[in-house]
Structure formats: structure tokens, C-alpha cells
């Protein structure tokens, strides 16, 4: 599990030890519970050991939480510059 505050759309690259589920949750407030991101395509979050996708939450800053059912060996988040 990892958490990050983003201020713009971002590219996420994740390499995992084997295929498993991967979830992204979001929170628009500084405190409180995270909610699932419902618009994440299934092909991004199910089955592939490598994830490489650009995400846009349409509201910033946004607090995001990433969870993987298998070990993550590498993860890079890069905010997209206008």
C-alpha cells in the first residue's frame, strides 16, 4: 500500500512479482476514509503484472491510495506537466 497527494493528472508505472488485483482509492479531503475510484478500467487493475496508465481525477489536490495483492518491485508516479 502506498499513498500520494497529486496535483495534476499522472502517469503510474507499477511492476509486480505476479498478476493480481490492484486498486486505486481517492480522497478529496485531508482526513477521512478513502473511496474506490470507479472509473479505472478493469484491464488496468486485473491480472497484469505490469501497469502503465495515465490517470485524471478532475479535481486537485487529490489524495490517492494504491493497493496491490502481490509484492510491488517498482512503482513510479509522474505528474503530467501542462
Cα 23 from Cα 74, distance rounded (Å): 16
Question: Could you read off the pLDDT of 40-51 as tens digits, one per residue?
Answer: 776 666 678 998
- Please tell me the total count of domains within the chain: 1
Strand partners, 55: 10
Cα 28 from Cα 82, distance rounded (Å): 21
pTM for the predicted model, two decimal places = 0.85
Residue span of the structural domain in which 41 resides: 2-79
Question: Could you read off the pLDDT of 10-50 as tens digits, one per residue?
Answer: 999 999 988 888 889 999 999 999 998 877 776 666 678 99
Amino acid at each position: 500500500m502506498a499513498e500520494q497527494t497529486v496535483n495534476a493528472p499522472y502517469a503510474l508505472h507499477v511492476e509486480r512479482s505476479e498478476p493480481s488485483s490492484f486498486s486505486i482509492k481517492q480522497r478529496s479531503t485531508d482526513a477521512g476514509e478513502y473511496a474506490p475510484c470507479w472509473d479505472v478500467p478493469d484491464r488496468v487493475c486485473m491480472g497484469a503484472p505490469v501497469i502503465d496508465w495515465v490517470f485524471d481525477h478532475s479535481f486537485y489536490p487529490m489524495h490517492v491510495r494504491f493497493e496491490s495483492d502481490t509484492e510491488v518491485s517498482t512503482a513510479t508516479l509522474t505528474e503530467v506537466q501542462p
